[in-house]
Amino acid sequence: MSNLQLLCFSKGCVKANEAIAVCLLFLELLMATRLSFPAIFRLITATFFLSVISVASATESKETPEERPMNFALVKNGNCQESCVQWISGEGKITADTPTRFKRLLKILGGKTLPVVLQSRGGDVDAALSVGRMIRTAGLDTAVGRTQLNGCPMLDPRCTEKVISDGWSEGEVHAGGAYCFSACPFALAGGQTRAAATNAYVGVHQLTNGPGHRATGRRRLDVISTKIDPKLNKKLAIYLDEMGVNSNDVFAMMGLATPNGIYYVKSAEALKSHVITRVFSSSDEPGYVIRGSAVKTSDVPNRL
Protein backbone atom coordinates (compact mmCIF):
# COMPACT_ATOMS: atom_id res chain seq x y z
CA MET A 1 0.00 0.00 0.00
CA SER A 2 1.42 3.41 -0.97
CA ASN A 3 1.79 6.41 1.35
CA LEU A 4 -0.93 8.13 -0.64
CA GLN A 5 -3.31 5.22 -0.04
CA LEU A 6 -2.48 5.28 3.66
CA LEU A 7 -3.48 8.93 3.74
CA CYS A 8 -6.91 7.92 2.48
CA PHE A 9 -7.80 6.66 5.96
CA SER A 10 -8.01 10.30 7.08
CA LYS A 11 -10.61 12.88 6.19
CA GLY A 12 -7.99 14.93 4.42
CA CYS A 13 -7.50 12.25 1.77
CA VAL A 14 -9.88 13.77 -0.78
CA LYS A 15 -8.35 17.23 -0.58
CA ALA A 16 -4.84 15.82 -0.69
CA ASN A 17 -5.60 13.69 -3.74
CA GLU A 18 -7.23 16.63 -5.49
CA ALA A 19 -4.17 18.80 -4.88
CA ILE A 20 -1.80 16.13 -6.18
CA ALA A 21 -3.97 15.51 -9.25
CA VAL A 22 -3.87 19.21 -10.11
CA CYS A 23 -0.08 19.22 -9.66
CA LEU A 24 0.34 16.22 -11.99
CA LEU A 25 -1.84 17.85 -14.63
CA PHE A 26 0.24 21.00 -14.32
CA LEU A 27 3.42 18.99 -14.85
CA GLU A 28 2.03 17.39 -18.00
CA LEU A 29 1.27 20.84 -19.39
CA LEU A 30 4.79 21.99 -18.57
CA MET A 31 6.38 19.05 -20.34
CA ALA A 32 4.33 19.87 -23.44
CA THR A 33 5.74 23.42 -23.54
CA ARG A 34 9.15 24.46 -24.83
CA LEU A 35 10.67 25.72 -21.58
CA SER A 36 14.34 25.26 -20.79
CA PHE A 37 15.33 22.34 -18.56
CA PRO A 38 16.36 24.58 -15.58
CA ALA A 39 13.02 26.38 -15.73
CA ILE A 40 11.10 23.11 -15.81
CA PHE A 41 13.21 21.76 -12.93
CA ARG A 42 12.42 24.82 -10.79
CA LEU A 43 8.71 24.53 -11.52
CA ILE A 44 8.72 20.80 -10.75
CA THR A 45 10.46 21.47 -7.42
CA ALA A 46 7.95 24.17 -6.49
CA THR A 47 5.05 21.93 -7.48
CA PHE A 48 6.42 19.08 -5.37
CA PHE A 49 6.64 21.25 -2.25
CA LEU A 50 3.13 22.58 -2.83
CA SER A 51 1.79 19.02 -2.98
CA VAL A 52 3.64 18.10 0.24
CA ILE A 53 2.19 21.14 2.00
CA SER A 54 -1.31 20.24 0.78
CA VAL A 55 -1.02 16.68 2.11
CA ALA A 56 0.44 17.85 5.43
CA SER A 57 -2.27 20.45 6.03
CA ALA A 58 -4.98 17.94 5.15
CA THR A 59 -3.67 15.31 7.55
CA GLU A 60 -2.63 17.60 10.43
CA SER A 61 -6.12 19.11 10.69
CA LYS A 62 -7.55 15.71 11.60
CA GLU A 63 -7.89 15.25 15.36
CA THR A 64 -7.69 11.76 16.78
CA PRO A 65 -10.76 10.55 18.73
CA GLU A 66 -8.78 10.85 21.99
CA GLU A 67 -7.88 14.49 21.30
CA ARG A 68 -11.41 15.69 20.56
CA PRO A 69 -13.21 17.58 23.31
CA MET A 70 -15.62 15.28 25.13
CA ASN A 71 -19.14 15.28 23.79
CA PHE A 72 -22.22 13.38 24.90
CA ALA A 73 -24.80 11.41 22.97
CA LEU A 74 -27.95 9.45 23.74
CA VAL A 75 -27.43 6.03 22.18
CA LYS A 76 -29.59 2.94 21.67
CA ASN A 77 -28.85 -0.37 19.99
CA GLY A 78 -32.21 -0.90 18.28
CA ASN A 79 -35.66 0.53 17.60
CA CYS A 80 -36.83 -0.27 21.16
CA GLN A 81 -40.25 -1.49 20.00
CA GLU A 82 -39.60 -4.81 21.72
CA SER A 83 -36.27 -4.53 23.52
CA CYS A 84 -33.12 -2.44 23.29
CA VAL A 85 -30.26 -1.06 25.36
CA GLN A 86 -29.96 2.68 26.02
CA TRP A 87 -27.14 4.74 27.50
CA ILE A 88 -25.43 8.12 27.58
CA SER A 89 -22.08 8.00 25.80
CA GLY A 90 -19.36 10.44 26.87
CA GLU A 91 -16.02 10.22 25.07
CA GLY A 92 -13.04 12.48 24.41
CA LYS A 93 -10.87 14.92 26.31
CA ILE A 94 -12.50 16.58 29.33
CA THR A 95 -12.36 20.35 28.82
CA ALA A 96 -13.75 23.45 30.50
CA ASP A 97 -16.79 23.18 28.18
CA THR A 98 -17.62 19.59 29.14
CA PRO A 99 -19.95 20.46 32.07
CA THR A 100 -21.97 22.79 29.82
CA ARG A 101 -22.33 20.06 27.21
CA PHE A 102 -23.40 17.54 29.82
CA LYS A 103 -25.93 19.95 31.31
CA ARG A 104 -27.41 20.43 27.83
CA LEU A 105 -27.76 16.67 27.40
CA LEU A 106 -29.44 16.27 30.79
CA LYS A 107 -32.01 18.82 29.64
CA ILE A 108 -32.67 16.79 26.48
CA LEU A 109 -32.89 13.62 28.60
CA GLY A 110 -35.83 15.14 30.45
CA GLY A 111 -35.46 13.30 33.75
CA LYS A 112 -34.76 9.82 32.38
CA THR A 113 -32.16 7.89 34.34
CA LEU A 114 -29.73 6.34 31.89
CA PRO A 115 -26.18 5.25 32.74
CA VAL A 116 -23.30 7.47 31.70
CA VAL A 117 -20.75 5.34 29.83
CA LEU A 118 -17.35 7.05 29.79
CA GLN A 119 -14.16 6.63 27.81
CA SER A 120 -11.51 9.35 28.17
CA ARG A 121 -7.78 9.87 28.63
CA GLY A 122 -8.54 12.70 31.05
CA GLY A 123 -8.29 16.47 30.93
CA ASP A 124 -9.55 19.29 33.14
CA VAL A 125 -10.02 18.07 36.72
CA ASP A 126 -12.30 20.96 37.73
CA ALA A 127 -14.59 20.06 34.82
CA ALA A 128 -14.52 16.37 35.77
CA LEU A 129 -15.58 17.20 39.33
CA SER A 130 -18.41 19.35 38.01
CA VAL A 131 -19.66 16.58 35.71
CA GLY A 132 -19.40 14.06 38.54
CA ARG A 133 -21.54 16.21 40.81
CA MET A 134 -24.17 16.65 38.09
CA ILE A 135 -24.24 12.89 37.57
CA ARG A 136 -24.79 12.34 41.29
CA THR A 137 -27.47 15.03 41.54
CA ALA A 138 -29.33 13.45 38.62
CA GLY A 139 -29.13 10.02 40.28
CA LEU A 140 -27.34 8.38 37.35
CA ASP A 141 -25.02 5.38 37.26
CA THR A 142 -21.64 5.37 35.52
CA ALA A 143 -19.51 2.80 33.73
CA VAL A 144 -16.29 2.57 31.78
CA GLY A 145 -17.24 1.63 28.24
CA ARG A 146 -16.62 2.32 24.57
CA THR A 147 -19.34 3.12 22.06
CA GLN A 148 -19.36 1.97 18.44
CA LEU A 149 -21.85 3.99 16.39
CA ASN A 150 -23.46 2.45 13.32
CA GLY A 151 -21.79 3.55 10.11
CA CYS A 152 -18.52 4.72 11.68
CA PRO A 153 -15.15 3.38 10.48
CA MET A 154 -13.14 0.96 12.59
CA LEU A 155 -10.42 3.56 13.26
CA ASP A 156 -13.00 6.12 14.43
CA PRO A 157 -15.79 4.03 16.00
CA ARG A 158 -17.60 7.00 17.52
CA CYS A 159 -17.25 9.40 14.60
CA THR A 160 -18.77 12.84 15.07
CA GLU A 161 -20.76 12.55 11.83
CA LYS A 162 -22.99 9.88 13.40
CA VAL A 163 -23.58 11.68 16.72
CA ILE A 164 -27.11 13.09 16.70
CA SER A 165 -27.07 16.18 18.90
CA ASP A 166 -30.82 16.46 19.56
CA GLY A 167 -31.98 12.86 19.36
CA TRP A 168 -30.89 9.23 19.51
CA SER A 169 -27.78 7.85 17.88
CA GLU A 170 -27.61 4.11 17.21
CA GLY A 171 -24.77 1.72 17.94
CA GLU A 172 -23.29 -0.78 20.36
CA VAL A 173 -21.58 -0.47 23.72
CA HIS A 174 -18.74 -2.61 25.06
CA ALA A 175 -17.04 -2.68 28.45
CA GLY A 176 -13.97 -4.70 27.50
CA GLY A 177 -10.96 -2.72 26.33
CA ALA A 178 -12.43 0.64 27.37
CA TYR A 179 -10.36 3.13 29.38
CA CYS A 180 -10.82 5.94 31.90
CA PHE A 181 -7.60 7.77 32.82
CA SER A 182 -6.39 10.84 34.71
CA ALA A 183 -9.37 13.15 35.38
CA CYS A 184 -11.90 10.63 34.02
CA PRO A 185 -12.13 8.54 37.24
CA PHE A 186 -13.31 11.67 39.08
CA ALA A 187 -16.27 11.98 36.71
CA LEU A 188 -16.81 8.21 37.01
CA ALA A 189 -16.99 8.62 40.80
CA GLY A 190 -20.21 10.63 40.42
CA GLY A 191 -22.26 7.55 39.60
CA GLN A 192 -24.59 6.05 42.19
CA THR A 193 -23.35 2.70 40.92
CA ARG A 194 -19.95 2.62 39.22
CA ALA A 195 -18.90 -0.30 37.05
CA ALA A 196 -16.00 -1.49 34.91
CA ALA A 197 -15.01 -4.77 33.30
CA THR A 198 -12.00 -6.77 34.44
CA ASN A 199 -10.42 -6.08 31.05
CA ALA A 200 -11.18 -2.35 31.08
CA TYR A 201 -8.56 0.18 32.20
CA VAL A 202 -8.91 2.71 35.02
CA GLY A 203 -5.77 4.77 35.53
CA VAL A 204 -4.63 7.55 37.86
CA HIS A 205 -1.49 9.67 38.08
CA GLN A 206 0.02 12.42 40.19
CA LEU A 207 -1.71 15.78 39.75
CA THR A 208 -0.73 19.39 40.28
CA ASN A 209 -1.37 22.85 38.90
CA GLY A 210 0.24 23.43 35.52
CA PRO A 211 2.38 26.60 35.71
CA GLY A 212 1.78 28.99 32.88
CA HIS A 213 -1.41 27.29 31.68
CA ARG A 214 -4.28 29.63 32.55
CA ALA A 215 -6.32 29.47 29.38
CA THR A 216 -10.06 30.12 29.80
CA GLY A 217 -9.39 31.77 33.16
CA ARG A 218 -8.99 28.59 35.20
CA ARG A 219 -6.11 26.54 36.51
CA ARG A 220 -4.99 23.62 34.40
CA LEU A 221 -5.14 20.61 36.70
CA ASP A 222 -4.31 17.75 34.37
CA VAL A 223 -0.51 18.00 34.36
CA ILE A 224 1.54 15.08 35.66
CA SER A 225 4.08 16.13 38.29
CA THR A 226 5.93 14.85 41.31
CA LYS A 227 5.01 17.97 43.29
CA ILE A 228 2.27 17.77 45.90
CA ASP A 229 -0.42 20.45 45.80
CA PRO A 230 -2.12 20.60 49.23
CA LYS A 231 -5.02 22.72 47.98
CA LEU A 232 -5.73 20.36 45.11
CA ASN A 233 -5.44 17.32 47.38
CA LYS A 234 -7.91 18.88 49.79
CA LYS A 235 -10.34 19.66 46.97
CA LEU A 236 -10.14 16.11 45.66
CA ALA A 237 -10.44 14.60 49.14
CA ILE A 238 -13.63 16.56 49.82
CA TYR A 239 -15.09 15.51 46.47
CA LEU A 240 -14.17 11.83 46.75
CA ASP A 241 -15.51 11.57 50.30
CA GLU A 242 -18.68 13.28 49.12
CA MET A 243 -19.05 10.62 46.42
CA GLY A 244 -18.40 7.73 48.82
CA VAL A 245 -14.92 6.98 47.47
CA ASN A 246 -12.00 6.40 49.85
CA SER A 247 -9.76 9.39 49.16
CA ASN A 248 -6.80 7.93 51.08
CA ASP A 249 -6.82 4.84 48.87
CA VAL A 250 -7.04 6.97 45.73
CA PHE A 251 -4.12 9.18 46.80
CA ALA A 252 -2.09 6.08 47.62
CA MET A 253 -2.70 4.70 44.13
CA MET A 254 -1.84 8.06 42.57
CA GLY A 255 1.44 7.95 44.48
CA LEU A 256 2.27 4.60 42.88
CA ALA A 257 2.37 6.20 39.44
CA THR A 258 5.76 7.07 38.01
CA PRO A 259 6.38 10.83 37.54
CA ASN A 260 5.46 10.66 33.87
CA GLY A 261 3.21 7.62 33.88
CA ILE A 262 -0.15 6.21 34.88
CA TYR A 263 -0.93 3.66 37.57
CA TYR A 264 -3.43 1.10 36.30
CA VAL A 265 -5.89 0.36 39.10
CA LYS A 266 -6.60 -3.34 39.60
CA SER A 267 -10.23 -4.44 39.93
CA ALA A 268 -9.74 -5.45 43.58
CA GLU A 269 -8.21 -2.05 44.38
CA ALA A 270 -11.00 -0.22 42.57
CA LEU A 271 -13.64 -2.14 44.52
CA LYS A 272 -11.88 -1.70 47.86
CA SER A 273 -11.56 2.06 47.36
CA HIS A 274 -15.09 2.30 45.90
CA VAL A 275 -13.77 3.87 42.71
CA ILE A 276 -16.11 1.26 41.25
CA THR A 277 -18.83 -0.64 43.05
CA ARG A 278 -19.29 -3.48 40.56
CA VAL A 279 -17.14 -5.47 38.15
CA PHE A 280 -18.77 -6.54 34.90
CA SER A 281 -18.80 -10.22 34.10
CA SER A 282 -17.78 -11.34 30.61
CA SER A 283 -21.42 -11.34 29.46
CA ASP A 284 -22.41 -7.95 30.91
CA GLU A 285 -22.26 -4.65 29.07
CA PRO A 286 -23.09 -1.08 30.15
CA GLY A 287 -26.59 0.22 29.53
CA TYR A 288 -30.22 -0.08 30.60
CA VAL A 289 -32.40 -2.73 28.98
CA ILE A 290 -35.64 -1.23 27.68
CA ARG A 291 -38.54 -3.55 26.86
CA GLY A 292 -41.22 -1.96 24.73
CA SER A 293 -41.52 1.66 23.63
CA ALA A 294 -44.11 2.41 26.32
CA VAL A 295 -41.91 1.28 29.22
CA LYS A 296 -40.16 4.00 31.19
CA THR A 297 -36.45 3.62 31.74
CA SER A 298 -36.86 4.05 35.48
CA ASP A 299 -39.20 1.04 35.58
CA VAL A 300 -36.62 -1.32 34.11
CA PRO A 301 -33.80 -2.93 36.14
CA ASN A 302 -30.41 -1.81 34.93
CA ARG A 303 -27.39 -3.95 34.13
CA LEU A 304 -24.91 -1.99 36.21
Q: Say if residues 221 and 210 touch (Cβ distance below 8 Å).
A: yes
Of 151 and 49, the one with more pLDDT: 151
pTM: 0.73
pLDDT for the residue numbered 32: 55
Q: How far is CA 132 from CA 29, 128, 239, in A?
A: 62, 6, 9
Of 220 and 127, the one with more pLDDT: 127
pLDDT for the residue numbered 183: 96
pLDDT for the residue numbered 279: 96
pLDDT for the residue numbered 168: 93
φ/ψ of residue 54, rounded to 5: -65, -45
Averaged confidence pLDDT in the chain = 79
Contacts of 67 (CB under 8 A, 6+ apart): 92, 93
* Pair type for strands 84-91 and 142-144: unpaired
- Which among 150, 179, 289 is positioned nearest to 298, based on CA atoms? 289
Quote the CA–CA distance of 143 and 284 in Å, as a whole number.
11
Which letter, b or e, does each residue of 242-257 get, where b requires 16 or more Cβ atoms within 10 Å of its Cβ?
ebebebebbbebbeeb
pLDDT for the residue numbered 281: 81
Quote the CA–CA distance of 173 and 191 in Å, as a whole number.
18
Confidence tier at 216 by pLDDT (50, 70, 90) = very low
DSSP annotation of 151: T
Quote the CA–CA distance of 223 and 241 in Å, as a whole number.
23
Confidence tier at 93 by pLDDT (50, 70, 90) = very high
Asked if pLDDT for residue 208 goes beyond 60, the answer is no
What are the tens digits of pLDDT across the range 267-280? 999 999 999 999 99
What are the tens digits of pLDDT across the range 101-125? 999 999 988 888 999 999 999 999 9
pLDDT for the residue numbered 45: 61
Asked if pLDDT for residue 33 goes beyond 80, the answer is no
Asked if pLDDT for residue 193 goes beyond 80, the answer is yes
Q: What is the mean pLDDT of residues 185-199?
A: 97
